[in-house]
Structure 1
C-alpha cells in the first residue's frame, strides 16, 4: 500500500514538473537586465523590474517605461532602472512593436495598466519614462489618460512624429496611408495636444542634447516646454540640454541623478507616499548631476566619480576635483563638500579611490591621476574646461591633493594628470612625523604598525622611510608646483597644525605661490570650515587660478 502511494506521488510530481517546464517554455521570452519577471498581456510580452521584497509597498509605486522591444530596456539603462528599484519603485513595460503612439499601442498600455493596478496592487498613477521613440508611446497615452499620470520623464524623447519616424514610416502603424495620417495629425501627433498635459499640471523632466539630428530638440522637447509656458505652467518642466550631445549613448543621458530623483518622486507621490529623502547624493539647485561614471578600476572593481555641472551655463567651465577624507580607509564621493562651487561657475568632480582594504600605496595617487586624465579625455562630452582643473580634498583627501600638486606627473601621458591649483584641507604632508606613525607618548610598536599610515603603505611607516617620503608632499615640493591654499584648524587633534606649517614653508622656500589659513577654534574639520568667510577665500583662490588665468 505504501509502495503504491509513493509511486502515485512520484507520478504526480513528475506530471507537475513537466507541466511547469511547458508553462515556462510557453511564457514570453525576454532577457531582462535586472531581476524581475516577464508575462503576457493580451498576447503581448510584458515585464516588471521588481524592488526587493522588503522595498515593496501597497499600493506599489511604479514607472511605465517605453520602448519595450526585444532589445529594450538595454544595458545602457541598467544603472537608471537599478536606482529606481533600489528606491522601491517598480518598472514595467509592454512590447507593442514599432507602434509609434498609435491607438493600438495605447490600448496595449491600457491593458498593462489595468493588469497591474487591478490585479497586482500597483498604484493608480505611475510615472512615465520614454526614451527616444518611447516618448511617442508615453506622451500619446498620457495625453488621453491625464488622470492616471503622476509625471512624465524623457531621454531625448520623440513628441513630434513628423520628425521621427516621419509620416511615411508611421502611417502603417496607424492603419492609414501617409496622406490620411498627415490630415489627422491634430488628433494623433502628441505635440498638437501637449496643452492637455499642461492643463492637468503633470510635471515633466527631460534630458535632450542640443545637436540631436534624429530627434531634434526644437521640434520635440523644446516644443513641449514652450506649450507648458504658453499655458502658464512652465515651472513644471525641467529641461536639461547637454551642449554638443546628439542621439547617442553618452553616459550622461543614462546616469542623470536629476532624472532619477524626478522619476522616483513622481512615482511615490502617485502612490500616495511621501518621497522623503530620495537622493544618495544631494543635487544643489540649478545643477545637473551625472553620477557613478566609471573612470577606472582596481582588481576588477570599478572606480566611480560624479560630475556636478551648472545647468544653465553653455560654455565650458573650469573643474574642481573633490577628494574625500576618511583615513584612506573610509569615506566616499557621495558626501561632496565642494558641490557649492557649482553655484559660482565651476563643475565639480567627486571621486572614489581605492581604500586600504582594497590596495596600498601608490594605488591611491594613481587613481587620482587617472580621474584627472578621465576629466580631460571627457571634457568635450561634459562641456568642461580641461585646461583648468583644480584639486581640493580634506584630511586623507588633503594628503592626496597635495601630492597631486607636488609629485611629478608620469611621462608620456596621453592626457595630462597635472592640476592647476590645489586646496589642501588639514592633510598630513609628512607621514614620517605624523604622531600615529611614531612610537612614544603611549603608542607602542604594535599601535604604530596598525596606524592608518601603516595600512596605506603596507608596513609600519618608520620601516619604509623612502616609501613614506615618496608618499609625503613635504618631500616632493619643487618650484614648478601649482599654487596652493592650505587651511588647517588650530585645535586639530588628528593632524597637527605643524604638518601644514612646515609644508607651507617648504612651498614658499621653493618659490611656489602658497597661502596658509589657520582656522581659529577649528578641529579636524567641523562647522568652522563651512563659514561664508572660508568659502569666499576658497572661491577667490580658484577664481584667481582657474578663471582669471585663462
Structure 2
C-alpha cells in the first residue's frame, strides 16, 4: 500500500538487462497478451490502482511517488513504458505530460484522451453518467467549466511531443464508447504535426473491445525497440 492505494510489481523468472518494466495504469490482467510476452522476455510488470481518479493531478502525483518507490525498492529501470488501456489513457498520457523525463514510451490501447468525449459523452460516444460525475468531482470541474479546462491529454500534447516520447496507438475504428475520431485520431494527427514519433494500428470494424491484438508481436516489438534505444529505460 502507498498513499492508501494498492500497488504491486510482478517479477519475471530472470530479469532482462537493465530491468525494464511495463506499467499498466488501469485494468491489470485484461487483454494481457503483450504483458505476458514481455514478462516471458524478462520484463517486470507493475500496477498502481487509482481507479475512478481519471488521471487527475492528484492521481498523477501519487503515480510519481509510486514510480520513485518501485525503482528504488526493486532496482527497476529509471523510465518505464506506460500502458494506457481505455480510461488508463488518461493516467498514462497525463503522467507523461507532467513527467516526460520519467517515461520511455507510451502504448495506448483504445485510449480515453478527452474527458468530454468519455465519460462526458459530448460527442458521438454513449458517455457514462456516473463516471462523468466522478470525473468532474476529482478535477474540481462542473458541466460549464469542463470544456475549456485544458486537463485532457489532447490539451497536453506539447510536452510529450517535445520530449519525443514514442507512442504506439492501437484502436478500433468502430468504437462507440471511446470514439476513435474524438480521441486516438486527433492524437495521431496533432502529435505528428508537432514532430512526435507515433505509430498507429487501427482495427477496421472493431469496437472498444477486444483490446490489444490477437497476435501481440507488433506491440511487443515496439516496446522492445523503445527499450533498446539510447535513451530507453
The correspondence of residues 269-308 of structure 1 with structure 2, limited to 5 A, is 269=229
Larger RCO (CA within 8 A; separation ≥ 6): 2
Match of 1:155 in 2: 109
Match of 2:126 in 1: none
Q: 2:79·2:232 contact (CA, 8 Å) conserved in 1?
A: no
Shift of 1:254: 5.4
Residues 257 and 56 of structure 1: is their aligned pair in 2 closer, same or farther, counting only changes over 3 Å? closer
Shift of 1:108: 1.6
Shift of 1:249: 2.1
Match of 1:208 in 2: 171
Which of 105, 119, 122 is equivalent to 2:73?
119
Shift of 1:75: 4.7
Residues 118 and 247 of structure 1: is their aligned pair in 2 closer, same or farther, counting only changes over 3 Å? same
SS in 2 for 1:160: coil
Q: 1:155·1:253 contact (CA, 8 Å) conserved in 2?
A: no
1:292-330 residue CA offsets vs partner (Å, 9 max, x unmatched) = xxxxxxxxxxxxxxxxxxxxxxxxxxxxxxxxxxxxxxx
Root-mean-square deviation (Å): 2.1
1:70-97 residue CA offsets vs partner (Å, 9 max, x unmatched) = xx323532x3211011111111111112
Q: 1:80·1:254 contact (CA, 8 Å) conserved in 2?
A: no
Are 2:197 and 1:242 aligned?
no
> Following the alignment from structure 2 to structure 1, what is the Cα–Cα distance between the partners of residues 56 and 145?
13
Which of 197, 217, 221 is equivalent to 2:160?
197
> Following the alignment from structure 1 to structure 2, what is the Cα–Cα distance between the partners of residues 270 and 259?
20
Residues 149 and 258 of structure 1: is their aligned pair in 2 closer, same or farther, counting only changes over 3 Å? same
Are 2:22 and 1:63 aligned?
yes
Are 2:185 and 1:222 aligned?
yes
> Following the alignment from structure 1 to structure 2, what is the Cα–Cα distance between the partners of residues 254 and 102?
32
Residues 75 and 102 of structure 1: is their aligned pair in 2 closer, same or farther, counting only changes over 3 Å? closer
Match of 1:453 in 2: none
SS in 2 for 1:76: coil
Match of 1:50 in 2: 11
Are 2:141 and 1:176 aligned?
yes
Query: Unpaired runs of 5+ in structure 1?
Result: 1-39, 274-550
Residues 157 and 272 of structure 1: is their aligned pair in 2 closer, same or farther, counting only changes over 3 Å? closer
Query: Unpaired runs of 5+ in structure 2?
Result: 122-131
1:463-493 residue CA offsets vs partner (Å, 9 max, x unmatched) = xxxxxxxxxxxxxxxxxxxxxxxxxxxxxxx
Shift of 1:269: 4.1
Are 2:95 and 1:141 aligned?
yes
Which of 256, 266, 270 is equivalent to 2:216?
256
Aligned length: 222
SS in 2 for 1:253: coil
Are 2:57 and 1:103 aligned?
yes
Q: 1:44·1:96 contact (CA, 8 Å) conserved in 2?
A: yes
> Following the alignment from structure 1 to structure 2, what is the Cα–Cα distance between the partners of residues 272 and 239?
20
SS in 2 for 1:41: coil
Residues 45 and 216 of structure 1: is their aligned pair in 2 closer, same or farther, counting only changes over 3 Å? same
Q: 1:126·1:266 contact (CA, 8 Å) conserved in 2?
A: no
SS in 2 for 1:208: strand
The correspondence of residues 320-335 of structure 1 with structure 2, limited to 5 A, is none
Shift of 1:109: 0.8
1:49-107 residue CA offsets vs partner (Å, 9 max, x unmatched) = 2111x3354x421112121xxxx323532x32110111111111111121111012101
> Following the alignment from structure 2 to structure 1, what is the Cα–Cα distance between the partners of residues 176 and 74?
40
The correspondence of residues 1-16 of structure 1 with structure 2, limited to 5 A, is none
> Following the alignment from structure 2 to structure 1, what is the Cα–Cα distance between the partners of residues 119 and 215?
26
1:512-544 residue CA offsets vs partner (Å, 9 max, x unmatched) = xxxxxxxxxxxxxxxxxxxxxxxxxxxxxxxxx
Shift of 1:113: 0.6
> Following the alignment from structure 2 to structure 1, what is the Cα–Cα distance between the partners of residues 77 and 230?
7
Q: 1:228·1:237 contact (CA, 8 Å) conserved in 2?
A: yes
